[in-house]
């Protein structure tokens, strides 16, 4: 059964990575080797999680890259389904040539 409203991975990063370690966004960004504004934008759900940042999270905090990338994928799929009614593409029917 698909999740219709999966959380943005930034929410997970905020509650399960940054908060438990008692880090500020600036300190967490330094630990990850990214800019503070970039991490803040991700944390607040205004940017997508990149594979690069997911590797950094795994290396710095031990949270598997696969876990957070699956969250991003679920979020992207749900977002695509929300907008699918506006996409008009007819079903393709392949016709065999004789």
CATH top-level class for 9-86? mainly alpha
Angle between helices 36-43 and 25-32 (to 10 degrees): 110
Closest CA to 35 of 52, 58, 15: 52
> So where are the chain's domains?
9-86
The pTM assigned to this predicted structure is 0.84
pLDDT in single tens digits along all 98 residues of the chain: 455 789 999 999 999 999 999 999 999 999 999 999 999 999 999 999 999 999 999 999 999 999 999 999 999 999 999 888 889 999 999 888 76
């Amino acid at each position: 059964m698909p999740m219709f409203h999966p959380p943005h991975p930034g929410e997970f990063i905020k509650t399960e990575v940054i908060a438990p370690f008692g880090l500020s966004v600036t300190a967490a960004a330094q630990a990850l080797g990214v800019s503070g504004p970039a991490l803040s934008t991700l944390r607040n759900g205004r940017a997508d999680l990149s594979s690069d940042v997911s590797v950094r999270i795994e290396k710095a905090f031990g949270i598997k890259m696969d876990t957070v990338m699956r969250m991003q994928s679920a979020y992207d799929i749900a977002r695509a389904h929300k907008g699918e009614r506006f996409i008009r593409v007819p079903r393709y029917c392949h016709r065999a040539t004789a």
